[in-house]
Amino acid sequence: DQQVKQNSPSLSVQEGRISILNCDYTNSMFDYFLWYKKYPAEGPTFLISISSIKDKNEDGRFTVFLNKSAKHLSLHIVPSQPGDSAVYFCAASAGQSGGGADGLTFGKGTHLIIQP
Amino acid sequence: DTEVTQTPKHLVMGMTNKKSLKCEQHMGHRAMYWYKQKAKKPPELMFVYSYEKLSINESVPSRFSPECPNSSLLNLHLHALQPEDSALYLCASSQGGTGTRNRMNTEAFFGQGTRLTVV
| Domains of chain A, each with CATH number or no CATH | 4-96+103-115 (2.60.40.10)
The sheet with strand B73-79 has its strands ordered as B4-7, B18-25, B73-79, B64-70
For B83, the 3-state DSSP assignment is helix
In DSSP notation, A48-106 reads EEEETT-SEEEETTEEEEEETTTTEEEEEESS--GGG-EEEEEEEEE-SSSSS----EE
Tell me, what DSSP letter sits at residue A43?
Answer: -
Q: What is the CATH number of the domain that holds B40?
A: 2.60.40.10
Q: Please give the Cα distance from B32 to B93 (Å, whole number).
A: 4
Chain A residues with beta carbon closer than 8 angstroms to that of B99: 98-100
CB A23 within 8 A of CB A107: yes
Contacts A45 to B, Cβ<8 Å: 110
Q: Determine the structural domain holding residue B66 and report its residue range.
A: 4-97+108-118
Give the pLDDT score at B40: 77
Q: Is residue B103 part of a domain?
A: no
Q: Residue A79 CA to chain centroid, in angstroms?
A: 17
Of chain A, the percentage scoring pLDDT greater than 70 comes to 93
Q: What is the pLDDT of residues B95-117, one digit of tens each?
A: 864 443 344 345 788 998 999 99
**CA dist B16 → A37, B19, B79, B82, B101 (Å):** 36, 10, 7, 9, 46
CA closest to A89 among chain B residues = B42
**Cα–Cα distance between A18 and A13 in angstroms, integer?**
7
Whether pLDDT at A17 is above 60: yes
Does the beta-carbon distance from B106 to A101 stay under 8 Å? Answer: yes
A40 touching chain B per CB within 8 A:
no
Q: B62: how many CB neighbours lie within 10 A of its CB?
A: 8
Would you say residue B32 lies in a domain?
yes
Where does chain B show beta strands of DSSP type E? 4-7, 10-13, 18-25, 31-37, 44-50, 53-57, 64-70, 73-79, 87-94, 109-110, 114-118
**Nearest residue in B to A92, CA atom:** B107
Contacts of A32 in chain B (CB under 8 A): 103, 106
Query: What is the number of domains present in chain B?
Result: 1
> Is residue B102 included in any domain, yes or no?
no
Asked if A41 and A86 touch (Cβ cutoff 8 Å), the reply is no
More confident residue, B116 or B57: B116
Residue A22: its pLDDT value, please? 98
Give me the amino acid identity at B51. Y
Whether the bond into A116 is cis, omega within 30 of 0: no
Question: For residue B84, what is the enclosing H or E element?
Answer: none
Are B90 and A44 an interchain contact pair (Cβ–Cβ within 8 Å)?
Answer: yes
Q: What is the pLDDT of residues A62-110, one digit of tens each?
A: 999 999 999 999 999 999 999 999 999 999 987 643 334 567 889 999 9
CB A62 within 8 A of CB A48: yes
More confident residue, A11 or B95: A11
